[in-house]
């Protein structure tokens, strides 16, 4: 099994030297949840991106012009300009078990063109409509917008990658060509394809248009805009209901003034890029956290694990993870600014921990879900046996997750065992008590069900505050 490494480690470059370039340092082979935010393009320190925002707006302005023309040929050209191929080797986006990007195919391109046409018919022709569309367009999230931007700016980003490659003295390179020139960029350590480097100062974990806090901040410096934002746009974010994108679209498209207020607020926004050093949302430093767990709790898993020994290996990994969180202060890595980080962070941390423990063995560990939203599979590289481990926070859908996992486990012919790990981040959890009762009932009935393991991840008071 390939070891988890960051790009600088694969190319044997000191971390400080790599960080000084300003390039994102991905974990090779696994996507990180970051996206190119168009608003940040105008603030990048990379000389190659000096005119990037203008180029993006000009590109989308051309699409608006074509759609406004209202004839079949123009429509087809507009749709064609909204089709973007998959970008490989960027290390950002939603892909969980690879570092390739997402594509915009003909169907989504047609839907984007139709939505843009609606906006144009309402008298809104600002090219920034494509940048805010992720708020209300099904299938068009931050990953696809990010990939569209990388496509539009491919020459600039490849130029940036080539310069950084030269500055760092990376010798293992691969050619990649655009319509106008050829670039030499790092050779991807897995498979030999080109590795594309992205400046960190254009990356965020949440696009500004989807962040209420950033939009509200952008409107705060102009009283008229602030009033319009609070009256027309805030309800979309402030309402506690789980609105679908279709709901948001219906709300915004009721009144042209709502859309105008959204775009004006968005254009005035000046967000900061993600803080990779502080990592406030636990998106970036998960590998370093996982390494700390394994260093503090060495297990010595054998290189060749027999099928019948798989459960022993999995239990050791779970016990080590539990020990770190409960007794070695590891609960701290699950929090930021006093609040629990999301479930995905906990899953990724456990996933990375298990991978590091098993990197020299024949135990294969892979996510059940490509998006990383489901349980994690532990599989022997030989044999059909597998053990499923699912991670939940006590503040999440604990009961629902357990019932789903129980059904999957009981219907599976291959799963030897199923573990359901609940990280307790709340003082009380009625759902936790409920699933305990369900587990007991299933066992008494002689039915297999996931083994529940509760890990106490609640915040501890410091000694001074506990007095």
Instruction: Return the HEC string of 337-385.
Output: CCEECCHHHHHHHHHHHHHHHHCCCCEEEEECCCCCCCCEEEEECCCCC
Token digits of residue 102: 């997402």
Cα–Cα distance, 183 to 54 (Å, whole number): 23
Burial of 238 (C-beta count, 10 Å sphere; 0-12/13-18/19+): exposed
Given a cut of 90, whether residue 208 has pLDDT beyond it is no
User: What's the pLDDT score for residue 463?
Assistant: 42
Cα–Cα distance, 266 to 127 (Å, whole number): 12
Mean pLDDT, residues 176-196: 93
Given a cut of 70, whether residue 467 has pLDDT beyond it is no
Cα–Cα distance, 277 to 24 (Å, whole number): 12
Given a cut of 70, whether residue 8 has pLDDT beyond it is yes
> Within 13 Å, how many C-alpha atoms sit on residue 114's CB side?
8
Rounded to 10 deg, the angle between the 310-327 and 343-358 helix axes is: 130
**What is each CA distance from 175 to 118, 178, 218, 417, in whole angstroms?**
42, 10, 42, 47
Mean pLDDT, residues 380-391: 73
95 vs 466, more confident: 95
Q: What is the pLDDT of residues 245-295, one digit of tens each?
A: 888 899 899 999 999 999 998 998 888 999 999 998 888 999 999 999 999
Q: What is the DSSP letter of 462?
A: P
Q: pLDDT confidence of 183, banded at 50, 70, 90?
A: very high
The residues near 304 (Cβ < 8 Å, ≥ 6 apart) are: 361, 362
**What is each CA distance from 328 to 19, 298, 456, 457, 464, in whole angstroms?**
30, 14, 12, 11, 18
Q: How many helices (H) and strands (E) does the chain have?
A: 20, 11
First-to-last C-alpha distance (Å) of the chain: 48
% of the chain residues with pLDDT over 90:
57
359 vs 64, more confident: 64
Q: What is the DSSP letter of 23?
A: B
CA dihedral for 9, 13, 19, 21, sign (positive or negative): negative
343 within 8 A of 337, measured Cβ to Cβ = no
Worst-scoring range by mean pLDDT, 33-37, 196-200, 227-231, 264-268?
Answer: 227-231
Given a cut of 90, whether residue 227 has pLDDT beyond it is no
Mean pLDDT, residues 293-322: 89
253 vs 1, more confident: 253
> Within 13 Å, how many C-alpha atoms sit on residue 179's CB side?
4
385 vs 18, more confident: 18
Q: What is the pLDDT of residues 421-459, one digit of tens each?
A: 999 999 988 999 999 999 999 999 998 889 999 999 999
**What mean pLDDT, rounded, does the chain reach?**
87
233 vs 167, more confident: 167
Given a cut of 90, whether residue 93 has pLDDT beyond it is no
Q: What is the pLDDT of residues 50-62, one digit of tens each?
A: 999 999 999 999 9
Rounded to 10 deg, the angle between the 256-268 and 245-252 helix axes is: 110
Tell me how far the alpha carbon of residue 156 is from its chain's centroid: 24
Mean pLDDT, residues 106-125: 95
Q: What is the pLDDT of residues 132-164, one digit of tens each?
A: 998 899 999 888 999 999 999 999 999 999 999
Query: Which of 203, 200, 190, 196 minimizes the C-alpha distance to 165?
Result: 196
Given a cut of 80, whether residue 211 has pLDDT beyond it is no
Given a cut of 50, whether residue 381 has pLDDT beyond it is no
């Amino acid at each position: 099994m390939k070891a988890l490494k960051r790009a600088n480690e694969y190319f044997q470059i000191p971390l400080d030297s790599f960080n000084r370039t300003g390039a994102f340092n991905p974990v090779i082979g696994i996507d990180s949840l970051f996206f190119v935010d168009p608003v940040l393009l105008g603030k990048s320190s990379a000389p190659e991106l000096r005119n990037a925002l203008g180029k993006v707006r000009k590109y989308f302005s051309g699409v608006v012009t074509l759609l406004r023309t209202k004839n079949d040929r123009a429509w087809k050209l507009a749709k064609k300009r909204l089709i973007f191929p998959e970008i490989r080797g960027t290390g950002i986006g939603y892909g969980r078990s690879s570092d390739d990007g997402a594509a915009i195919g003909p169907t989504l391109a047609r839907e984007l063109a139709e939505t843009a046409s609606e906006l144009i018919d309402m008298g809104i022709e600002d090219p920034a409509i494509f940048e805010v569309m992720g708020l209300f367009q099904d299938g068009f999230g931050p990953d696809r917008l990010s990939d569209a931007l990388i496509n539009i700016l491919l020459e600039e980003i490849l130029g940036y990658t080539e310069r950084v490659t030269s500055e760092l003295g990376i010798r293992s390179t691969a050619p990649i060509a655009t319509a106008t020139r050829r670039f030499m960029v790092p050779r991807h350590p897995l498979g030999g394809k080109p590795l594309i480097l992205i400046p960190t100062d254009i990356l965020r974990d949440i696009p500004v248009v989807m962040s209420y806090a950033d939009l509200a901040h952008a409107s705060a410096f102009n009283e008229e805009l602030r009033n319009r934002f609070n009256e027309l746009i805030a309800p979309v974010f402030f309402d506690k209901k789980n609105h679908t994108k279709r709901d948001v679209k219906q709300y915004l498209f009721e009144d042209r003034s709502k859309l105008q207020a959204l775009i004006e607020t968005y254009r005035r926004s000046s967000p900061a890029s993600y803080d990779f050093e502080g990592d406030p949302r636990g998106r970036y430093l998960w590998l370093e956290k996982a390494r700390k767990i394994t260093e503090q709790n060495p297990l010595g898993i054998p290189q060749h694990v027999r099928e019948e020994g798989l459960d022993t290996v999995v239990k050791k990994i779970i016990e080590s993870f539990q020990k770190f969180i409960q007794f070695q202060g590891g609960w701290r890595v699950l929090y930021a600014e006093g609040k629990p980080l999301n479930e995905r962070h906990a899953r990724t941390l456990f996933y990375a921990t298990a991978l590091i423990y098993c990197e020299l063995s024949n135990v294969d560990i892979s996510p059940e879900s490509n998006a990383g939203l489901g349980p994690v599979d532990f599989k022997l590289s030989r044999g059909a046996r597998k053990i499923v481990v699912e991670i939940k926070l006590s503040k999440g859908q604990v009961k629902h997750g357990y019932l789903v996992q129980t059904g999957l486990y009981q219907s599976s012919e291959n799963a030897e065992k199923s573990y359901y790990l609940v990280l307790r981040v709340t003082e009380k959890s009625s759902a936790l008590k409920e699933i305990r009762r369900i587990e007991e009932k299933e066992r008494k009935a002689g039915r297999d069900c996931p083994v529940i393991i509760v890990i106490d991840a609640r915040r501890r008071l410091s000694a001074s505050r506990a007095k």
